[in-house]
Amino acid sequence: MPVDPLHSAARPPRSAPSPLSRTPEADAVEVRRSSRRRRTVSAYREGDRTVVLIPARMSDAEEKRWISVMLDKLAAQESRRMPGDSELAGRARRLSEQYLAGRARPAGVRWVTNQNTRWGSCTPAEGSIRLSHRLQGMPEYVVDYVLLHELAHLLVPGHGPEFWRLLESYPRTERARGYLEGVVAADRLPHLPAARSE
């Protein structure tokens, strides 16, 4: 039986940055230096990584500072684009139709800020689904997987073979599970203090 990364997430360390200032993509950063670029710095997401464009003459310390600034800017932009509760409910309906033949019908779907050890939760008796705010800023396919996982719990409460068969129809199940497992593993790594410059 597969391990369930949704219900085995480690509690993030107290010193972990907030979800808006550090997204999982922050760990996959590619810096591209350009001799034609004089002052401007820009960044964008490219698949599962972030590309930061900087001037070639920039020092390592400036590069590090600008990476942090640009990751924060991208995370803030992405959090503003995250769907609200009503959009999340519509997304759940579409996922249920597409992957579960419309059989999973939640009474309510919402973001919550009190789930630090789970990515999502479901109360089948009430038909309610809650997604952790820590998912905000993660790739859409990851959020969709967590939402679909919780929708499947409306049909099958446990994590037996029947439950996992329901998720087989979602083509990015393994990729999303791997992504979430990577986030959990990264949270468990020791956070080293920044080196002091003398």
Residue 133 has pLDDT above 80, yes or no: yes
* C-alpha–C-alpha distance, residues 72 and 5, integer Å: 26
Residues 5-11 have a mean pLDDT of 46
| pLDDT, tens only, 20-66 | 333 443 458 999 999 988 888 988 877 668 899 999 999 999 999 99
> Residue 193's pLDDT band (boundaries 50, 70, 90)?
low
pLDDT at res. 143: 92
- For the stretch 70-89, pLDDT in tens is 888 877 776 555 566 778 88
Q: What is the DSSP letter of 8?
A: -
Q: Which pLDDT score is estimated for 82?
A: 55
Q: CA-to-CA distance for 109 and 82, rounded, in angstroms?
A: 14
pLDDT band at 156 (very low <50, low <70, confident <90, very high): very high
Instruction: Note the pTM of the prediction, 2 decimals.
Output: 0.58
**134 close to 105: Cβ distance less than 8 angstroms:** no
β-partners of residue 110 are 130
DSSP track, 50-70: EEEEEETT--HHHHHHHHHHH
